[in-house]
Structure 1
Amino acid sequence: MIHKRGPLFWLQLGFTLFVCAFLIVPVILSILAGVTNNYFTGISSGFTLRWVVEVWTGYSDTIFLSLWIAIVCLACTLVLGVPAAYVLAKRQTALTRAIEELMVMPVAIPGLATALALIVAYGGLSGFRTSWAFILVGHVLFTLPFMVRSVLAVLSAIDLQTLEEGAASLGAGFWTRFFTVVLPNCRTGILAGALMVVTLSVGEFNMTWLLHTPLTKTLPVGLADAYASLRLEVGSAYTLVFFLMIVPLLIALQWFSRPRSRAHAKPESEG
């Protein structure tokens, strides 16, 4: 029996398509502007990769710096965030809940305020202030709560105490339990947190705008400079380069975050 779709279905479908178009069309137009000879003339002026080459020639250092900071930021949040989430999941007390809420403060506070606080506290350290590590500290502060919350959500959903007690009864020490029981069971949370950390670090602008120096421009800062001081085609080409870099990264992280399907059992032989 064929179920007939009513007016409500078509209304919901139309609204969904409208929202998708509202979000996607500006991105498509921006990308097209980066591969046309003249934005004001439009597609009729012809396609070219000249602006993309110009962006890569003049701003490739900002792209590699953003990737490097994002990778190091991910490493820092893994080393700090996963053990922190483990402790918070193991000890559900008023103190740990207060610590958990305090860790979210960098997300609630505007990035400009956090950047200003870092400049006031550590701006006097000239070597540190002018290095990419200064930006890294801000990114770690901003992204660490996302890693902790993602891992904590998974650890809170499983019976962690029973799993550890079972491993301990078989003679597993603390580190063995942590690496062979805890980490595999919170793998999905770690990968989800990694997805957010990398994407947020690569695209973070507000905090980085105050923390950067002329020698430590990241990709979003370079993108803002391209739109502000160069031709619109160059800025749009910069957006295209950004998408070409971030989309495969998102797809890869999404693929790694999928649970692996078990091998199908072999069919029983007929007796």
Structure 2
Amino acid sequence: MNSITASARSAIHAPTSARSRLRMPATRTWLAAGQWLVTLLLCAFLIVPVVMSIMAGLTVNYFKGLSSGLTLRWLVEVWAQYHGSVWLSLEVAAATLLITLLTGVPAGYVLARSKTRLSRIVEECLVLPIALPGLASALALLVVYGGFTRFRMSAAFIVVGHVVFTLPFMVRAVAAICASSDLRTLEEGAASLGANFFQRFVTIVLPNARPGIVAGALAVLTLSIGEFNLTWMLHTPDTKTLPVGLADTYASLRIEIGSAYTILFFIMTMPLLVAMQWLGVDATGQRGAAKKRGGVAATKSASMPASTPSPESITTP
């Protein structure tokens, strides 16, 4: 009798449970569709103005739109007037990158290895320029070094400002990757084999820190090329970089020339962003850790004896 009652109850509840199982995927589908819709709308909100600005730099007359025709006249005019700013921006970015590599990589390594309170204080001091507005940092540099006329009028003054602003990005990227990898064990093993500090740094630290170095280098280049606030305070008529020239074109010239300047700026920065994705930069080491876990799992499964039955193949009589 009890078995008959149980079977009747299961028959009554079976359609309900089946309907609930059918409803859940539909709910998940609607949620996923909503998330995709919000993401696409946000992307359109950010990308459409950039596309419209680029189109403005390629049209004969912005106010008439595409009906006026397409032209490269504004790009040619911008290059003729501001090619000096382009080369100066590249030179400043290259000098900034070189200095941050020489100082930021060792600093990031030391901060990752050291666990003292002093190292944390130094790290906070290095990050301080990011917390301050660029105008404040530029004003501090002018107050301290503005009296040195030749230095103040040279591009080296802008390089110093860019180094102060971008150095934390290099230090934090290198420190993050050095802290995530077990460099101390590798260095101790190399030291036991007779390697000195320079040999350990070149053959162990630098190869393992490469993702952080690449991430920091690309961040330094993009930030240096696009930095405006600090550069606007430090520049002179002879040391005008790309962002300052872009502001001048939008303020004093036709909107088509300003938009063409935006295209030129876009052409310079996009390859760096694409390179970051193409190189698969992983400064935090999360993807490397995931691959390592996947490799360990594959090794374990491959090392299992072939005669060991899987749990699914075990049946009870």
Same-fold call, TM > 0.5? yes
What is the aligned counterpart of 2:152 among 129, 137, 141?
Answer: 129
Asked if 1:173 corresponds to 2:166, the answer is no
What is the aligned counterpart of 1:184 among 204, 207, 224?
Answer: 207
Aligned-residue offset at 1:255: 2.9
Name the residue aligned to 1:98.
121
Aligned-residue offset at 1:174: 0.6
The alignment partner of 1:104 has SS state of helix
1:82-111 per-residue CA deviation (whole Å, 9 max, x = no partner) reads 111111122210010111011101110110
The alignment partner of 1:184 has SS state of helix
One-letter code of the match for 2:232? W
Separation in structure 1 between the aligned mates of residue 147 and residue 130 of structure 2, nearest angstrom? 25
Name the residue aligned to 2:139.
116
Do the aligned partners of 1:195 and 1:254 also contact (CA within 8 Å) in 2?
A: no
One-letter code of the match for 1:131? S
1:171-217 per-residue CA deviation (whole Å, 9 max, x = no partner) reads 11110000000000010000111111110000000000000000000
Separation in structure 2 between the aligned mates of residue 169 and residue 150 of structure 1, nearest angstrom? 29
One-letter code of the match for 1:32? M
The alignment partner of 1:56 has SS state of helix
Separation in structure 2 between the aligned mates of residue 226 and residue 243 of structure 1, nearest angstrom? 15
Aligned-residue offset at 1:253: 4.1
Separation in structure 1 between the aligned mates of residue 187 and residue 30 of structure 2, nearest angstrom? 54
Greater mean deviation of Cα atoms: 241-250 or 77-86? 241-250
Do the aligned partners of 2:104 and 2:167 also contact (CA within 8 Å) in 1?
A: yes
Do the aligned partners of 1:74 and 1:197 also contact (CA within 8 Å) in 2?
A: yes
One-letter code of the match for 1:91? S
Asked if 1:157 corresponds to 2:154, the answer is no
One-letter code of the match for 1:99? V
1:54-65 map, 5 Å: 54-65=77-88
Greater mean deviation of Cα atoms: 247-256 or 13-22? 247-256
Do the aligned partners of 1:84 and 1:148 also contact (CA within 8 Å) in 2?
A: yes
Aligned-residue offset at 1:26: 0.2
1:98-151 per-residue CA deviation (whole Å, 9 max, x = no partner) reads 110111011101100110111111111111001000000000000000000000
Q: Percent identity?
A: 62
TM-score between the two structures when normalised by the length of structure 2 = 0.79
Name the residue aligned to 1:29.
52
Do the aligned partners of 1:73 and 1:139 also contact (CA within 8 Å) in 2?
A: yes
Separation in structure 1 between the aligned mates of residue 245 and residue 254 of structure 2, nearest angstrom? 13
Name the residue aligned to 1:251.
274
Name the residue aligned to 1:141.
164
One-letter code of the match for 1:196? A
One-letter code of the match for 1:106? P
Q: Which runs of 5+ in 2 are unaligned?
A: 1-24, 283-287, 292-317
What is the aligned counterpart of 1:85 among 101, 104, 108?
Answer: 108
1:33-91 per-residue CA deviation (whole Å, 9 max, x = no partner) reads 00000000101000000000000000011111111111110110010001111111222
Asked if 1:206 corresponds to 2:229, the answer is yes
One-letter code of the match for 1:219? L
1:205-244 map, 5 Å: 205-244=228-267
Separation in structure 2 between the aligned mates of residue 88 and residue 246 of structure 1, nearest angstrom? 30
1:207-237 per-residue CA deviation (whole Å, 9 max, x = no partner) reads 0000000000000000000000000000000
One-letter code of the match for 2:137? T
TM-score between the two structures when normalised by the length of structure 1 = 0.92
Separation in structure 1 between the aligned mates of residue 32 and residue 280 of structure 2, nearest angstrom? 32
Separation in structure 2 between the aligned mates of residue 213 and residue 66 of structure 1, nearest angstrom? 14
RMSD: 1.7
Aligned-residue offset at 1:250: 2.4
Do the aligned partners of 1:192 and 1:257 also contact (CA within 8 Å) in 2?
A: no
For the pair shown, the structure with the greater C-alpha radius of gyration is: 2
